[in-house]
Amino acid sequence: MNHQERQVALVTLAVIALGAFVINFAKPGLGHPGLAMERRPLTNELGAIVREERVRLPAKVAGFHSKDAPITSIELATLPPDTSYGRKLYWDEEGFGAQMSAVLMKTDRTSIHKPQICITGGGWKIQKTDIIDIPVASPSPYVLKATCLTCSKMVHDPKTEKEFPHSAIYIYWFVSERRLLPSHSEVLWAISHDLVVSGILYPWAYVSCYAEFPSGREAIALVRMKRLISEAAPEFQLTPPNPKQSAFLQNSLPLH
């Protein structure tokens, strides 16, 4: 790490620390979420109602069927109690399926955790990490930038008693009232920056799309997942892209 990189790292840590101080010892104002909410119950894997409100993921997406999916008891026990959620399963006529989830913080930013922790905790090995572009047509055409994790592991087949290679793609991005960002490090900076500059704590959301499939079908799966996100995002994502804010954030500190 050279001198300039050390300076950048120190400034970043100082801003994040100052933001944490504002959260813990001041009374920051609370912004609005960047995702649409609805008054409908959300259940866990046992069918018990765990929330009376949830993120409004769309029931109808062109080319896909859908159904509600549960939030697990482990997630509910691990994340802060004021965290909001949304989750649905989507599948097409050819049998391809993906899970779309949303995790929305309120006042505790630990709701917005690093996705890699969950992926590796599930036994997956991350083979590749990319920042990808997803074209979205509404409310006006823009490109949604997201992080894409390509993962693999061996899966046991009970019929043949053998293991075979399985793959997964995990696409995620972050949404607030003011910004769309592809990485966790940028979100930490943005939360702290907003607190220090404006005294506002914006409720960030972490949106993800996840699919598993036999290895070798990664390219096909990615195309279908991008189409699903492109169609679904305008139905629940309230935040339009703001080039000026994105440029300011990217030019403030080189976080990558």
CB contact at 8 A, 164 and 155 = yes
Task: Mark out the alpha helices in the chain (DSSP H runs).
Answer: 3-25, 73-78, 115-121, 184-198, 218-236, 243-252
Using the predicted structure, report yes or no on whether residue 251 has a pLDDT greater than 70.
no
Q: What is the pLDDT of residue 13?
A: 41
pLDDT tens column, 88-142: 999 999 999 999 999 999 988 888 888 898 899 889 999 999 999 999 998 889 9
Using the predicted structure, report yes or no on whether residue 173 has a pLDDT greater than 70.
yes
CB atoms near residue 112 (< 10 Å): 22
Using the predicted structure, report yes or no on whether residue 253 has a pLDDT greater than 60.
no
CB contact at 8 A, 192 and 19 = yes
Q: What is the pLDDT of residue 254?
A: 34
pLDDT tens column, 16-57: 444 444 444 446 788 999 999 999 999 999 999 999 999 999
Tell me the pLDDT band of 4, cut-offs 50, 70 and 90: very low
Q: What is the pLDDT of residue 8?
A: 36
Tell me the pLDDT band of 10, cut-offs 50, 70 and 90: very low
Tell me the pLDDT band of 2, cut-offs 50, 70 and 90: low
Q: What is the pLDDT of residue 59?
A: 97
The residue type at 221: A
Tokens of 158: 């009970």
Residue, of 248 and 41, whose pLDDT is higher: 41
Using the predicted structure, report yes or no on whether residue 67 has a pLDDT greater than 90.
yes
pLDDT tens column, 194-241: 888 888 999 999 999 999 999 999 999 999 999 999 999 999 999 875
pLDDT tens column, 130-165: 999 999 998 889 999 999 999 999 988 888 888 889
Q: What is the pLDDT of residue 138?
A: 86
pTM of the predicted model as reported, rounded to 2 decimal places: 0.83
Q: What is the pLDDT of residue 239?
A: 83
CA distances from 209 to 25, 90, 134, 197, 198 (A): 36, 10, 12, 32, 32
CB atoms near residue 174 (< 10 Å): 23
How many angstroms separate the CA atoms of 203 and 140, rounded? 24
Q: What is the pLDDT of residue 61?
A: 97
% the chain with pLDDT above 70 = 83
